[in-house]
Amino acid sequence: MNGAVFPRGRILLWGGCLALAIALPLVFKSGFVISLLCQMGIMVVFALSYNMLLGQTGLLSFGHAVYYGLGAFITMHVLNLLGKDGGPLLVALLPLVGGLAGLLGGVVLGYVTTKKAGTTFAMISLGIGELVAACALMFPGFFGGEGGISGNRVVGKGNLLGFTWGPQVEMYGLIIAWVFIAAVAMFALTQTPLGRMANAVRDNPERAEFVGYDTQRVRYLMLILSGFFAGIAGGLTALNYEIVTAETLNAHTSGVVLLMTFVGGIGFFFGPIIGAILITVMQIVIGGMTHAWLLYFGLFFLFMVLMAPGGIASVIAIQRNLWQAGLFGRMVPHYLATALPVLVLVAGLVGVVELGYALLAGEGVGAGDTATRVMKMELHLNTPGPWLAALTVTGIGLLLTRWIGGRARVAWNTTLSTLHGDKA
């Protein structure tokens, strides 16, 4: 690793991100927001650890929750063992215990799963993930059965520089510290010979073998390290929620981190960070507003696959290239012009979805003149008015989006042609 890994500009960027994270609880003092920020931080570490496999090494895993869950369970067991003999300092170091549990899981399970790459690796990881998830219910002595294992992160007496980790804002500080340490370590790993060889194994394993590298060993080492950081995320989860259940090990958790990484952008280090933050907000904020949030997420994921398969980070990277070439200003008016019809279209679609969900749920049907509360409005589902309004807004938004968006697409193609011509 050379001295260019953290040049001055990059140090300022990392420092600015850390300062922003520290300042957030000073601005948003709500307990709900602090809890949301804690969950975001945990998912950032989890998604970055997954990207070590998918983005850096080209390994599509459907069982990454195994290492996350093992880290969480081991952390909770150690927390309960500490009891009165523990203290804030030992609790602050417990995520490292979770990391070591994830690392050990990678050592034991990774040797088998990394024998092959591609589809074979994906299927083996899925099988092992389901196996471990089944064990969570088969061995209640260790995993706690359906109720899981609970604990108390405030153990022992005294404090650490005034921190006991009891208040949620203090827990947020501990999470941010571990997120920063883990993120810096994972980024530094990308600049090491192992990180570079992982990229080579991802792009052209045959050539990597030809020059003398053992591709299976590279995959194995990357899975072990990925399991270590996933275990850290699991340890933070155990401390944050003070309970660990079998859900941390199941396929749903593995699927969520896969979607976070893909939506954010697997080709960029900061992509999973964006995906983790965005999907966590969708899960908690939008999920708390409507029961149909999974449908919205599915539509959003479909949109990303069709329109930006490289993830949100790829879109940001293109805008950065336009900015550096002095072409970004050309697209700003088109972006602003397209934003309004898109918002109208989204509002119409949300109205149709919410009305349809309320109708399928049986709300207000057969209730005579009884109104149903939809999106904080009292509406009569048995009358055509709400449906016509939602469909009209959707149609207007669609027409305007196609008309204005068509012009924006022409300007976009022209700008990209200019950009590529300047580079040539």
Residue 3 predicted with pLDDT over 70:
no
Residue 189 domain-assigned (yes or no): yes
Residue 315 predicted with pLDDT over 50:
yes
Do residue 126 and residue 20 come from a single domain? yes
pTM: predicted TM-score of the whole model, two decimal places: 0.89
Bridge partners, 244 (sequence order): 149
Q: How many domains does the chain have?
A: 2
Domain encompassing residue 344: 325-423
pLDDT higher at 267 or 394: 394
Quickly count: other Cβ atoms within 10 Å of residue 215's Cβ: 20
Question: CA-CA distance, 283 to 280, in Å (whole number)?
Answer: 5
Residue 307 domain-assigned (yes or no): no
Q: What is the pLDDT of residues 366-401, one digit of tens each?
A: 444 455 666 667 776 777 888 898 899 999 999 998
Return the beta strands (E) in 261-368 as ranges: none
Q: What is the reported pLDDT for 260?
A: 93
Cβ-based burial of 138 (10 A; exposed 0-12, middle 13-18, buried ≥19): exposed
Question: CA-CA distance, 418 to 330, in Å (whole number)?
Answer: 11
Residue 310 domain-assigned (yes or no): no
Q: For a pLDDT cut of 90, what percent of the chain falls above it?
A: 47
Q: What is the reported pLDDT for 181?
A: 95
**Average of per-residue pLDDT across 349-374:** 69
Q: What is the reported pLDDT for 370?
A: 56
Of 99-103, 118-122, 158-162, 198-202, the least confident: 158-162
Q: Which of 277, 297, 317 is the last residue of a domain?
A: 297
Do residue 292 and residue 417 come from a single domain? no
Do residue 377 and residue 413 come from a single domain? yes
Contact partners, residue 335, CB within 8 Å, separation at least 6: 408
Do residue 234 and residue 329 come from a single domain? no
Residue 201 domain-assigned (yes or no): yes
Q: What is the reported pLDDT for 105?
A: 95
Do residue 282 and residue 333 come from a single domain? no
Compute CA distances 304 → 260, 272, 275, 370, whole Å.
12, 14, 11, 39
Residue 251 domain-assigned (yes or no): yes
Six token digits for residue 92: 């602050």
Q: Which DSSP string do the residues of 241-264 spell out, in sequence order?
A: HSEE-GGGGSHHHHHHHHHHHHHH
Q: What is the reported pLDDT for 136?
A: 87
**Average of per-residue pLDDT across 153-157:** 81
Q: What is the reported pLDDT for 6?
A: 64
Question: CA-CA distance, 294 to 160, in Å (whole number)?
Answer: 41
**Average of per-residue pLDDT across 111-129:** 91
Q: What is the reported pLDDT for 372?
A: 64
The confidence band for 5, taking pLDDT boundaries of 50, 70 and 90, is low
Do residue 227 and residue 78 come from a single domain? yes
Do residue 96 and residue 233 come from a single domain? yes
Residue 315 domain-assigned (yes or no): no
The mean predicted confidence, pLDDT, of the chain is: 88
The confidence band for 64, taking pLDDT boundaries of 50, 70 and 90, is very high
Do residue 83 and residue 180 come from a single domain? yes
Do residue 85 and residue 128 come from a single domain? yes
Question: CA-CA distance, 322 to 415, in Å (whole number)?
Answer: 8
Residue 396 domain-assigned (yes or no): yes
Do residue 329 and residue 255 come from a single domain? no
Residue 305 domain-assigned (yes or no): no
Do residue 394 and residue 256 come from a single domain? no
Residue 423 predicted with pLDDT over 60:
no
Q: Which of 213-217, 224-228, 350-354 has the highest mean pLDDT?
A: 224-228
Do residue 248 and residue 177 come from a single domain? yes
Q: For a pLDDT cut of 70, what percent of the chain falls above it?
A: 94
